[in-house]
Amino acid sequence: MALIEQADVWLFRLLNLNLVYPAADDLMVFLTDGLLSWYVFLLAALFISIRKGKNGFLLILLALLSIGLADFTASGILKPFVQRVRPCFALDHVRLLVSQPRSYSFASSHAANSAAFAAITWIFFHRGKLVEKLFTGVMILFALAVSYSRVYVGVHYPGDVLAGMVVGVCSAILVYLLFSWILKNVIQPRQMRKESCGYG
């Protein structure tokens, strides 16, 4: 574990101190703002509603459940359990570009939430038409950009971000599998019974 943590610190310093471009600082601060993610989500929800019609509401609900589960896992379980101090408070000479409360670092809820939404998007749209594939790609790129920005602005280690992304993807998969099970074992059998009674 000590070797992994040392590698995490080394990679953090590389991304936060060495591989930086001052011209990109404002963009990274913009990307890491949680309010931006909600604006993106609202625009994405509009796209989903247009593309999926009545089923769009269900997909948006699944996305919200995935984000909620990811956020709870990252912030409600992992952070208080691991209690890792953020790099901006634990290390010297960190480029801290945003104000940051003294909450714990592992895992990144920003990464978890954006990855959860990107994963749900991929599940339902990656086999669609070109515009839907492009939409999926944009959501994945946005999730990666948000995750990277957390390291760039100095508030998370790369390991925090990677763990958050894993949490987000697993949350989306779990929600989708649960939805699929309910659809197959509860909703569809009820519909079939109603139809058979109607025709009987």
Question: What pLDDT score does 183 carry?
Answer: 86
pTM of the model: 0.91
Instruction: Give tens-digit pLDDT for 6-19.
Output: 999 999 999 999 99
Instruction: Give tens-digit pLDDT for 38-64.
Output: 999 999 999 999 998 888 999 999 999
What percentage of the chain carries pLDDT values higher than 70? 97
Distance CA 39, CA 30 (A): 12
Distance CA 59, CA 52 (A): 8
Under CATH, to which class is 42-192 assigned? Answer: mainly alpha
